[in-house]
Amino acid sequence: MAQPAYKAKSYLLITVTILFSFTVAYAQKMTDALHCLGNGQYCVYQNGMDVKSVFGPSYSSPSYLQLNLKDNNIVIKSTRLAGTAIWKHTLTRNEDKIAEITDFVDSELPVFVRKIVAYKTFTLNLNVLNNPKVTVVDNSNEFSMHSGCALMVHKDRGLAIFGEYEHPYEQFHQILLRYGANIKNNSLTNSYDIEIGLGESEIYFVGGPFYQECYENSKNILLIDWKKLYDRTLKNWSEFTKKRYDFNLHLSDNNKNKRQILEQIDNVAVLLKTQQSNEGAVIAGDFYHLAYVRDQYGVSRGFLAMGYYDEAKKILDFYWQIWQKFGLLHNAQAIGVPGIFHIHENDDVEQTGFLIIQAFDYLKKTNDVNFVKTIFPMLQWAWNVQKKHLVKGMLPFNGDETYVAGGILPRTALNDGSSESTLLFIQSGELLLPFIEKNKLWKKTNVQSDKKLVQTISGQFIENFVQGGQIIANNPSRMNIEEMPDFRHGVCAGWHGVVYTKKDKNGNYLCPKCSMEKKVYPAFERKSIFIPSIALTPYYIGSKLIPHQVLQQNIDIIRNNYLKSGQISSRTGEKKVIGYEFGFLLYALSVLHDSLADKVFEDTMSAVDESGAWVEYYNDGKPMGCRYRPWESGINIEAIIMYALSKEN
């Protein structure tokens, strides 16, 4: 891939991105598209101007606040100022302008800021979760010198961050209203109407997370003029945008897609940055406020492709900090809440391969050898823990693997051989072991032993995972039911969540409740499944292991299915598309200089939602699952950059 030769010239880049700002407009409640406003401490997700969730500090915390427009007849036009996460909303009713609103999260303090200029009165509805652990106190008297109304929201220990992982600390939010905004409790518990009068009003959501911090942040924010908050936030975003490669210089004016591509690069840069915590981790979206190792591999690739090396480094440093404390990593880890891990089946594989490859992607871009040496103990751990799972030259699946989580591959196949996990193991070894050897980090005999292991596994790969010229996703011969572990932490076959489970005689893993009920679950079918898009992974990670003719045969299957059905999905008859399949296919076709890349590029761009994001899944072309997703968006934007630059050479 041809890489841009240098980073952006500041003046030119800001000029270009402001020219290519974009607008989303829709009637209230007509779309599920989300966008994020965040500064690494405080994270707010909006649908249009409605605040759907508030997280922080830190990013791994529960959400129990919402702020919605009460009048469904008001039409909202929402616009993001390019290069920033500053959003402006224009409210109209029957073509009469109701108000203009500016929203952002301050660049320095954990504060969501809303500035309102109202031409007609209207009402917002503040909803605080009705839960015994959440209380609301009117503390307007504490801020009477600077604020009209104030509510303190206190969350006691508890409430879920995600799933059954409870937040172990108290948390506080302060809500402040100034000037023309007044609040009154309506007939519902913990529900308040905020009446917006004519002229200017200001609303602040202030985080702590603890009482003293929340109180001091609230006092400080009220001493600062709104315009100063806006200006410093705009400056902060401008500095972030300046770091980006200046793609305007690398795409010719003859490129008919230039404006669209520059616009989408800006969309994704802001999408990723708003969801990156101060600790370095990037959350996986509004549903998943944890740091997933695999997801952040795609995010890192997106950051690196756009020239954001510091942001990519911070992700690795986040894992390094966790690893130093606990000596391990799991499928996902909480951000800012030490010791909370989302543990899935076989966490030692797949994500560990991604982690090693991620470090060497960063090294290739930056030549930051000292940093990779610093985190080497973590990379060494990620390599060694994979080896103990090798059976007949194959690694199993991680329990949160995309095809499994998406219902495309049955969970009963988790202990089968995984072509993708095994490929990642081989690729990570081919990157890590030469680095170890060059920097004399191991004894020579140990390096040679592991090099021989990689060579052996590589030699077995085709026999294990290629049948009739097609790459199989899973190989059931890795182990039979008797050989599978008796206990594991993962999804209960009775669907009681991600818990500790015990294997029954038919190989189903059940939680204690299901085991005691003695319900018989049938033995599962042991068969190989073809997922042609797995042939795209070698192109994405740079593997040369699989012969070209095998890869080409699998890509031809994808091409033919695509030309026949018009669906990106590589599975015949399947209308469910994984959000990053667009990027994987576009990336591979761009590497191959395949003419079909032009059409796939168009489809990839058409999948972008109103907020400029890709989502977790698409069903018959319609977005589903988690919105405003970093993993899919990071992968897809790199593919678009790859495609665009390949057209310039």
Tell whether 633 is covered by a domain.
no
What mean pLDDT do residues 304-312 have? 98
In sequence order, what are the beta bridge partners of 205? Answer: 112, 175
Q: Is residue 620 part of a domain?
A: no
What average pLDDT does range 244-257 have in this prediction? 95
Of residues 91 and 15, the one with the higher pLDDT is 91
Name the residue with tokens 């899944």: 617
Q: Spell 414-425 as b/e; 16+ CB within 10 A means b.
A: bbbbbbbbbbbb
Query: Minimal CA–CA distance to 301: which of 615, 634, 538?
Result: 634
Q: Does residue 209 have a cis peptide bond before it, meaning omega lies within 30 degrees of 0?
A: yes
Integer Cα distance of 222 and 226 in angstroms: 9
Count of the separate structural domains present in the chain: 1
User: 45: domain CATH number?
Assistant: 2.70.98.50
- At 15 the pLDDT is 32
pLDDT over 80 (residue 36): yes
> 11 pLDDT band (50/70/90 cuts)?
very low
Indicate the Cα dihedral angle 244, 250, 253, 255, nearest 10°.
-100
Q: Mean pLDDT throughout 249-266? A: 96
Task: Give CA separation, 456 vs 269, 371, 393, 558, in Å.
Answer: 41, 31, 8, 30
**Could you tell me if residue 399 is left (phi over 0), alpha (psi between -120 and 50 degrees) or otherwise beta?**
alpha
Question: What letter does residue 172 receive in the DSSP assignment?
Answer: E
Domain assignment of residue 141, yes or no: yes
pLDDT tens digits for range 412-469: 899 999 999 999 999 999 999 999 999 999 999 999 999 999 999 999 999 999 999 9
Distance CA 627, CA 285 (A): 7
Instruction: Judge contact between 380 and 359, C-beta under 8 A.
Output: no
Whether residue 22 has pLDDT greater than 50: no
- pLDDT tens digits, one per residue of 578-630: 899 999 999 999 999 999 999 999 999 999 999 999 999 998 889 999 999 99
Range(s) of the domain holding residue 164: 27-235
Q: Could you tell me if residue 55 is inside a domain?
A: yes
In this structure, of 7-16, 85-94, 420-429, the range with the lowest mean pLDDT score is 7-16
Residue 196 is assigned to a structural domain of this protein? yes
- pLDDT band at 571; cut points 50, 70, 90: low
In this prediction, residue 319 carries a pLDDT of 98
Nearest to 42 by CA among 136, 105, 100, 91: 105
- Is residue 431 in a domain? no
In this prediction, residues 119-143 reach a mean pLDDT of 95
Neighbours of 267 (CB within 10 A): 22
Cβ atoms of 626 and 405 closer than 8 Å: no
Q: Are the CB atoms for 535 and 555 separated by under 8 Å?
A: yes
CB within 8 Å of 38: residues ≥ 6 apart: 44, 56, 59, 85, 105, 273, 274, 275, 276
379-383 long-range Cβ contacts below 8 angstroms, 24+ apart = 379/355, 379/432, 380/432, 380/441, 381/323, 381/327, 381/328, 382/329, 382/352, 382/353, 382/355, 382/356, 382/428, 383/352, 383/356, 383/428, 383/429, 383/432, 383/450
Mean pLDDT value of segment 111-134: 97
Percent of the chain with pLDDT over 90: 80
Residue 506 three-state SS: coil
445 domain-assigned: no
Q: What is the mean pLDDT of residues 258-269?
A: 98
Per DSSP, the residues of 90-118 read: EEEETTEEEEEEEEEE-SSSSEEEEEEEE
Whether residue 434 lies inside any domain: the answer is no
- Is the per-residue pLDDT at 23 higher than 80? no
The reported pLDDT for the residue numbered 161 is: 94
| 485-539 residue pLDDT tens | 999 999 999 878 889 999 999 999 999 999 888 788 888 888 999 887 888 999 9
What are the pLDDT digits (tens) for 334-385?
999 999 999 999 999 999 999 999 999 999 999 999 999 999 999 999 999 9
